[in-house]
Amino acid sequence: MLRHFMFDVLSNMSIKTASVILAAGKGTRMCSSIPKVLHKLAGRPLLEYALDLGLHICNVPIVVLGFESEKVQEFIGDRAKVVLQNQQLGTGHALHQAADVLRGQVDMVLVWAADMPLLTKSLLEAVVHCQTKNEGPVSIITAISDDDRGFGRVVRSDRREVQAVVEQSDATSEQLAINELNVGVYCFDSLWLWDELSTLKPSASGEYYLTDLIESAASQRQKIGVVTSNAGDEIIGINTRIHLAEAESALRARINHSWMERGVTLIDPDNTYIDSNVEIGLDTTILPNTHLQGGTVVGSECTLGPNSTIRDSVIGNRCKIESSVVEGAILEDEVDVGPFGHLRAGTHLGNGVHVGNFGEIKNSYLGPGVKMGHFSYIGDAIVGARTNIGAGAITCNYGMDKQKHRTEIGEDVFIGSDTMLVAPLRIGSRVRTGAGSVVTKDLPDDSLAVGVPARIISRLVDDKAESQDE
């Protein structure tokens, strides 16, 4: 059936385009029990990149799911409409599953595979634009490259008109030598698409190839629009874990370049790992082997690394983090951590806090100016401003009753070296504890306590009472 569908170029704005993301395949070549689209790239599942692109094209993208669809659907939530492909019978069959939802609803259908996470908005816009001007029923993206990546080859006639896309497994040796590749992004005229999909015949492998529609259009002497990408990293498709690693390094390079262009110094970009959702302020310097992960937000003029991992944390301005691990923490301004600090979930450090080597903090607030120089553990605690935690002092927050208990420490306190603070406990302001004391009872303001268990020996603080590590 020959059907011409003419677009009125002048009324482009009113052309409705749907986006369909193909994601039903198991991803057999990944050798994994996890659906391919949930494998992570720069900290985010592959599918999230496709969803971002889909949302850019239209309000509600459609995702075709099959293998482990419940797991993937849970991840998608309400960000897209899901249609199911119960049997994975090929890319043409996958797209056909969206027919009931889209037939008669839109003018054009933009289709691509969820395993192409480096595609850019501008490339997708280019193929949509190409199709709005095309009198024929489909426009495709091709790339010229000597690295075939196992992609389908774009076969052209002597007059350079596209005739077909031939899959690598079905290609003749002559066709295998073609260096114009099918990137796997198509913009169809909707009316034509659904009718043609119903006429698709299975290939030799038994799959219904979406790519066969190119030959259908050519055999109807219809015009096929072509956008040729310059074959940068955009066209990396992920079929194997080797491709995943290739995409990871390409995307990391893209992210790192973009941060350098926006005023962040990377001493060694090849060894700096910034997830795609991270935010970084002006004039921050990142030293080698530093990993900024998840939803981490970093302020200005910080120095991070070397050898640090900062995950899902908020770091203020002018902070310094060296050879440390920071997870789920909030650091206000001018905080310095490390080397070899570990800040765990629920840590909140006020302005100017210093956490030195081998400090560990969990679920605690340390007020402005608190110093914790060496080998200490603070968990489930609140520590007042300017308090000094001596070397080796810890909160014993896990009781014999197998419950976690809280410790409250006031302002300007001097916790002596190796003090054990047995929670639940309240330590008043300006308290001092002697080196090695084991504090099991609350201490009032201005007291000095020593010994095991600690006894209060003075209410008025004697400045020379105890020596402290600094």
Cα–Cα distance, 324 to 263 (Å, whole number): 24
Nearest to 425 by CA among 345, 417, 437: 437
* 88/468 with CB nearer ligand UD1: 88
* Residues 6 or more apart in contact with residue 429 via CB below 8 angstroms: 384, 410, 411, 412, 413, 445, 446
The Cα–Cα gap between 43 and 328 comes to 15
**Residue 153 or 348 with smaller CB distance to ligand UD1:** 153
What is the size of the binding site for Ca ion (CB under 5 A)?
A: 3
Whether 416 and 399 have beta carbons less than 8 Å apart is answered as no
Nearer of residues 115 and 360 to Ca ion, judged by Cβ: 115
Name the residue nearer to ligand UD1 (CB basis): 178 or 438.
178
**Candidate residues 43, 111, 143, 151; the one interacting with ligand UD1 per rule CB under 6 A:** 151
Binding span for Ca ion by CB under 5 A among 6-14, 145-153, 230-238, 313-321: 230-238
Query: Is 225 a residue that touches ligand UD1 (CB under 6 A)?
Result: no
* Total of residues contacting ligand UD1 (CB under 6 A): 30
Quick check: 363 and 383 in contact, CB under 8 A?
A: no
CB of 85 to Ca ion, least distance (A): 15
DSSP assignment string, 35-76? -GGGSEETTEEHHHHHHHHHHHH-SS-EEEE-TTHHHHHHHH
Rounded to the nearest whole angstrom, what is the least distance from the CB of residue 187 to ligand UD1 in the complex? 15
Closest approach of ligand UD1 to the CB of residue 419, in Å: 58
Question: Read out DSSP for 209-260?
Answer: -TTHHHHHHHHTT--EEEEEE--SGGG---SSHHHHHHHHHHHHHHHHHHHH
Distance (Å, rounded) from C-alpha 341 to C-alpha 321? 9
* Interhelix angle 46-57/69-76, nearest 10 degrees: 50
Candidates 86-94, 265-273, 351-359, 428-436: pick the segment binding ligand UD1 (CB under 6 A). 86-94
64 makes contact with ligand UD1 (CB under 6 A): yes
Give catalytic residues, as residue numbers: 374
Binding site partner of 91, from Ca ion, ligand UD1, none, Cβ cut-off 5-8 A by kind? ligand UD1
Q: Does 69 bind ligand UD1 (CB under 6 A)?
A: no
* Residue number, 180 or 327, with CB nearest to ligand UD1: 180
Q: Is 234 in the site for Ca ion (CB under 5 A)?
A: no
CB of 237 vs Ca ion, minimal distance in Å = 4
Choose the binding region for ligand UD1 from 87-95, 384-392, 410-418, 442-450 (rule: CB under 6 A): 87-95
Q: What character string, x for contact with ligand UD1 (CB under 6 A) and - otherwise, covers 13-52? A: ---------xxxx---------------------------
CB of 34 to Ca ion, least distance (A): 16
Rule CB under 5 A: choose which of 137, 237, 369, 390 binds Ca ion: 237
- The string of DSSP letters for 124-174 reads HHHHHHHHHH-SSSEEEEEEE-S--TTPPEEEE-TT--EEEEE-GGG--HH
What are 224's strand-pairing partners? Answer: 138
Q: Judged by CB under 5 A, does residue 115 bind Ca ion?
A: yes
Look up residue 419 and give its amino acid.
T
Short-list 344, 371, 375, 345, CA closest to 359: 375
92 close to 1: Cβ distance less than 8 angstroms: no
Using CB under 6 A, pick the residue from 51, 57, 128, 165 that binds ligand UD1: 165
Q: In degrees rounded to 5, what are phi and psi of residue 199?
A: -100, 0
Residue nearest to ligand UD1 (CB): 152
The answer to the question of residue 189 lying near ligand UD1 (CB under 6 A) is: no
Q: Which of 45, 54, 117, 184 binds ligand UD1 (CB under 6 A)?
A: 184
210 binds ligand UD1 (CB under 6 A): yes
Q: Which is nearer to ligand UD1, 107 or 215 (CB)?
A: 215
Using rule CB under 6 A, residue 62 touches ligand UD1:
no
Residue in 152, 352, 356, 384 binding ligand UD1, rule: CB under 6 A: 152
Dihedral-angle region of residue 296 (phi above 0 means left; psi in -120 to 50 means alpha; beta otherwise)? beta
User: Cβ 116 to ligand UD1, closest distance in Å?
Assistant: 6
**Nearest distance from C-beta of residue 298 to ligand UD1, angstroms:** 34
- Cβ proximity to ligand UD1: between 184 and 350 the closer is 184
In three-state secondary structure terms, 123 is helix
Give the Cα separation of 365 and 409 in Å (integer): 10
* Residue 237 found at the interface with ligand UD1 (CB under 6 A): yes
Going by C-alpha positions, the residue among 158, 156, 176, 159 that lies closest to residue 167 is 176
State which of residues 188, 192, 194, 209 lies at the interface with ligand UD1 (CB under 6 A).
209
Q: Which two tokens stand for residue 181?
A: 């590749």
* Torsion sign over Cα 50, 55, 57, 59: positive
- Interface residues with ligand UD1 (CB under 6 A) are 22-25, 64, 66, 85, 88-91, 93-94, 113-116, 151-152, 165, 167, 181-184, 209-211, 237, 239
Residues near Ca ion, by CB under 5 A? 115, 237, 239
